[in-house]
Amino acid sequence: MKSVLPLSTVLAALFVLWYGFAVWMNSPLQRDLFANAGNTAYSSSDLAVAALNMERPKLPAPHQVAGELYHLIIATAPDSKRSLVYHASITLQETLIGFFFGSLFGIGLAVAIVFVRPLERSLMPWIVASQTVPIIALAPMIVVILNQFDIGGMTPKAVIAAYLSFFPITVGMVKGLRSPDPLQLDLMRTYSATSSQMLFKLRTPSSLPFFFASMKIGAAAALVGAVIAEVTKSEDGGLGARLLAGSYYGQTVQIWAALFTAAALSGALVGAIGLVGRLTLRKMAFPT
């Protein structure tokens, strides 16, 4: 709670900075607009006010973005194609489907790696290496390949979301499943526990802190994947499609509104997982 004051100070400073930058970046354009309109008798405060309320500013002012958000979220019907709720729900569905399958696959892979020793030595370097590969570059490819099989709509985007989210989950879960103390593992062995008992009674519970940490990263990655996939195949809508449309038509306010919606979505997802994680870990008496 003691970070409320510093945090709000920083946010307020950012707000002021944003307005300053908006005036600074938009004034040259606005000056041209005034000149074109034959308006030469304007004061610098006129210029500043006009620069903060332009139709297509270089950097929209916060109140413009807020206005656009209000307009597109609350004032527009949620099933309209212009509504951000409509596009956000598309993105959210793709993210959640992708995230679900991505985490299933990621956890499965982690369990396999922990149980089958040779798998680790042959697979793990590839998993680590593939993290350094820009998987996002594959997104347009996956969309095309799945299109050949007449798989369209949400599936390609969910596949990309799953693809991006499973890596952090695998890496985190391998670490988590390995986290029990050697002493505890030995104790289980003296009980002559089978390896599946070991998995469910010892490894799974002690992997939970890692589980929630990697779920948070995985969810954020899945959302990034969904948004990027929407950019490469924008006919079906979604926040990525709004970003692309905004950049085509120079609608900066629209880009910023889509960006803030994506950020809010990501924040809500990560926050929800974090909350469930904190409650669960507290209940299980992990130090949080």
Partner 1 sequence: MNANRLADLGPPLLFGIVVLALWEAISRIAGVPAIILPAPSAIGLRIVTSVPTLAADFVQTMRGMVSGYLIGNAAGLIVAILIDRSPFLQRGLLPLGNLVSALPIIGVAPIMVMWFGFDWQSKAAVVVIMTFFPMLVNAAVGLSGAGAMERDLMKTYGASYEQTLSKLRLPAALPFVFNALKINTTLAMIGAIVAEFFGTPIVGMGFRISTEVGHLSIDMVWATIAVAAVTGSAFYALIALIERRATFWHASYRAR
Cα distance between residue 55 and residue 70, in whole Å: 17
123 and 171 Cβ atoms separated by less than 8 Å = no
Q: Which stretch binds partner 1 (CB under 8 A): 46-54, 136-144, 182-190, 199-207?
A: 136-144
**What part of residues 26-65 is at the interface with partner 1 (CB under 8 A)?**
58
The count of residues interacting with partner 1 (CB under 8 A) is: 56
**Per this entry, what is the length of the chain?**
288
Q: How far is the CB of 76 from partner 1 (least distance, A)?
A: 21
Helices (H), 178-251: 182-190, 195-198, 204-232, 239-249
Among 51, 72, 161, 262, binds partner 1 (CB under 8 A): 262
Q: Output DSSP code: residue 76.
A: S
Give CA torsion, residues 239, 244, 249, 253, to 10 deg: 40
Among 252, 253, 257, 277, binds partner 1 (CB under 8 A): 252
Cα distance between residue 162 and residue 211, in whole Å: 16
Cα distance between residue 183 and residue 126, in whole Å: 31
User: Is residue 112 within the footprint of partner 1 (CB under 8 A)?
Assistant: no
Cα distance between residue 265 and residue 258, in whole Å: 10
Amino acid letter at 218?
A: G
Map residues 228-247 to x or -, x wherever contact with partner 1 holds by CB under 8 A.
x--xx------xx--xx-xx
Decide whether 70 or 249 has the Cβ nearer to partner 1. Answer: 249
**What part of residues 66-105 is at the interface with partner 1 (CB under 8 A)?**
none
Q: CA distances (Å), 94 to each of 30, 226, 259, in order? A: 40, 6, 17
User: Is residue 220 within the footprint of partner 1 (CB under 8 A)?
Assistant: yes
Decide whether 135 or 193 has the Cβ nearer to partner 1. Answer: 135
Cα distance between residue 137 and residue 145, in whole Å: 14
Among 36, 75, 118, 283, binds partner 1 (CB under 8 A): 118
Contact residues: partner 1, CB under 8 A? 2-3, 6-7, 9-11, 25, 58, 118, 121-126, 129, 131-134, 136-138, 140-141, 143-145, 148, 216-217, 220, 223-224, 227-228, 231-232, 239-240, 243-244, 246-247, 250, 252, 255-256, 258-259, 262-263, 266-267, 270
